[in-house]
Structure 1
Amino acid sequence: MTHRAALPDTALPSVVHAWVDGWARARGTDAPRAVPGGFRIEVRRPGHLARHVLPGADPAVLRGLVDTLTAPGQWIKACAPREAVEPLLTADWEISEPQYLMTTDRPAPPGAGDGLPSGYRLEVVDEGAGVYEARVHTGSGPALAASGRAALTTGAAGGRPAPYAPSVVFDMIGTEPAHRRRGLGRAVMDALARRAVERGARQGVLVASPEGRALYEAMGWRVRSPVTAAGRRG
């Protein structure tokens, strides 16, 4: 049997554009700026001054960034496997754990619900400008068992450099260790997704850890690309 190489994902630049737009909104940073090869976001936080997000691992682009990003706290996130990125870095850069860019065209499947076990309650806070935070509390008190954020981004037709469908970008979805394996992360995702779909989102986008990838694949999400993240050492 003859095996054919996988075709490139021609829609990936649009997915990356949606991701960076939503991530910046969810984190409250400056809007992404289109730069040669991808996007730059000024984060301005300790250990994370700025990030360059690339829809691929173009050697010329990566070598140029490695040569010019000399301040500690600069990050590169390339939609490519580690083996395509690592040879282009110098010893000043450290690669973090694998990540995965994922999407779904059904952010809120029919029948999705909070699904909370007894002893938990969920609230969704509308922060304005299309940004939401879901929080799962234990009992009636303020203690958090799980939380997550989501940002709507419209992707108006004709947008540059890569237009995309109205999307919801999920960020910082997490469950405290003592409360894992109880469906709380899924409840957070469902609550955020329902509100996003009500407001017009047609695509879900996120970047997952290896552990998160398994959860999202079980929810019907698909991997669009591995993401290799590298930070400039101090």
Structure 2
Amino acid sequence: MARHVVTAADEATVRTLAENTTACDIPLKVFVPVPTLKAWLPPGWALPDGHAALMAARPGAVEAPPRLPDGYRLHRWDRAGVTRAVVRAADGSFAARGQIAVTGPAAVVDQVETHPAHQRRGLGRVVRGTLAEAATEEGRTLYEAVGRQVVAPMSAAAREAADSDSMPTPAR
């Protein structure tokens, strides 16, 4: 899935991306608070409920290598510069997942989640550890630590689906 991630609080860049993004399935993520992003977006963009943040590890807070609990299977694959990890229960059902993209000396971890029926078993740590192994040495330390601190808020938006009644008529 494509997405835009704007790492600097740059209103002009956000406005340009928003005006030139027409697909509803390409999220725009920016390291600014929700009210700021909302003010920068043109009509037709929606911000989902909830919040996120860019997190960084506290120096020296390193966890032991994760161990997959009995009865679970880990699948990891790489495609188009993104490493994905999925943990499945013994019956093949979804238990946990996440993905990471390395961009120079940094790595962006995204969509890490554990199914509620499988929480509190260390699966999130297994996913995070698996993704950390895929990161460069510089970016890896961000994701190996237990302790995290908020570096910046992160807000997300996506184009709203257009109603068929409000679709513009193509020029002839």
The answer, yes or no, to whether TM exceeds 0.5 is yes
CA deviation vs aligned residue, 1:161-201 (integer Å, no higher than 9, x gap)? xxxx2x444333221221122221112212332x336xx52
Change (3 A) 1:229 1:104: same
Q: What letter is aligned with 1:104?
A: A
Matching residue of 2:93: 143
Identity across matched positions, percent:
33
Change (3 A) 1:147 1:106: farther
Matching residue of 1:52: 4
Change (3 A) 1:107 1:124: farther
Unaligned runs of 5+ in 1: 1-26, 28-42, 44-50, 156-164, 207-215
What displacement does 1:121 show?
2.6
Q: What letter is aligned with 1:196?
A: A
Counterpart secondary structure, 2:28:
strand
Contact 2:61-2:146 within 8 A present in 1 as well = no
Unaligned runs of 5+ in 2: 162-172
1:188 to 120, 124, 127: 127
Q: Distance in 1 between matches of 2:107 and 2:68?
A: 21
Change (3 A) 1:100 1:137: same
Change (3 A) 1:150 1:230: closer
- Pairwise mapping of residues 86-165 of structure 1 onto structure 2 (< 5 A)? 86-96=38-48, 97-104=50-57, 109-114=62-67, 116=69, 119-127=70-78, 132-139=83-90, 141-153=91-103, 155=104, 165=105
Aligned length, in residue pairs: 158
In the alignment, does 2:156 pair up with 1:229?
yes
Contact 1:123-1:134 within 8 A present in 2 as well = yes
Q: What letter is aligned with 1:187?
A: V
Matching residue of 1:176: 115
Matching residue of 2:139: 203
TM-score scaled by length of structure 1: 0.52
TM-score scaled by length of structure 2: 0.67
Counterpart secondary structure, 2:62:
coil
Single out whichever of 81-90 and 97-106 deviates more from structure 2.
97-106
Change (3 A) 1:231 1:107: farther
Q: What letter is aligned with 1:88?
A: W
Counterpart secondary structure, 2:72:
strand
Contact 1:152-1:201 within 8 A present in 2 as well = no
